Structure 1
Amino acid sequence: MRILTATSFVAASLALSACSGGEAEQAATGGPPPMPQPVTMAQRPDATGGEALYVEFCAMCHAPNGMGTGLIARRADVSLLEERDDLTVELVVLSARNGIGNMPAIPRGEVSDEQLQQIAEYLAAGPHGGAQ
């Protein structure tokens, strides 16, 4: 039995991925699609107000590649917060401050009341075309 060292394992993995032909071939042969790119301000430079705050504080979990979308999908038809049309300001604030499901409570030291209000108003006005 041959034991791979970390270096040889990485080299073997790189060689295997190089032989596979990359993402384009994977998609053409029915492989899984590539992971979505994270949503950042670099992708949405014109975002202001609640949208900019959402990208800064919430998108890491609630954008297409975030863990929160999979958890929401278990109990809601639309898992991306920016695509939902059933959010109210009160629900967003309450959920953020108290936590909901696996989402921890967001303290005022992390997101101020004013910032959270702007985020909640932005989401409650959805669905938004900025959702990726």
Structure 2
Amino acid sequence: MRRGMIALVGAALMLAGAACGRASETPTQAPKGPPPLPAPETLSSRPQATPGEQLYLTKCAMCHAPGGMGTGLLARRTDQPLLEKRTDLTADYVVQAARMGIGNMPAIPRGEASDAELRQIAEHLAKGAKP
């Protein structure tokens, strides 16, 4: 008899808990998930890209465009994590940071980007720098 009573009380508690959970929900509320990822930045998304911008898109955007891992990491240290929107980057700083590596970003060897290519990327990123 005691087992039956325990089972009955347990079932009643489960029903009460389920009813409480349903009472606060409305049929129009859908569970919210994470926001959608931004569209990737590619050469096809910017057909009028300058040569430096094209190099940035092919060699850097996978990490430094919206949704990239580098953008998430930079958001912890700077107000503007998107390199193309920063106004404090000089071309020389970009070249040195890329060649030497900085923070979690590894050094970019000449086999991945020549000095001329890196200079074009750096000048593209420095175009928004305040004098």
Q: TM-score, normalised by structure 1?
A: 0.72
- Residue in structure 1 matching 2:110, options 108, 111, 118: 108
Q: What letter matches 2:34 in structure 1?
A: P
The within-5 A match list for 1:82-97 is: 82-97=84-99
- Residue in structure 1 matching 2:64, options 51, 62, 65: 62
Q: How far apart are the structure 1 equivalents of 2:91 and 2:37?
A: 31
Residue-pair matches, total: 102
Compute the displacement of 1:29 (Å): 6.0
Q: How far apart are the structure 1 equivalents of 2:77 and 2:67?
A: 18
Percent of aligned positions with the same letter in both sequences?
A: 66
The within-5 A match list for 1:1-132 is: 30-126=32-128
Q: How far apart are the structure 2 equivalents of 1:42 and 1:106?
A: 25
Moved over 4 A (4+): none
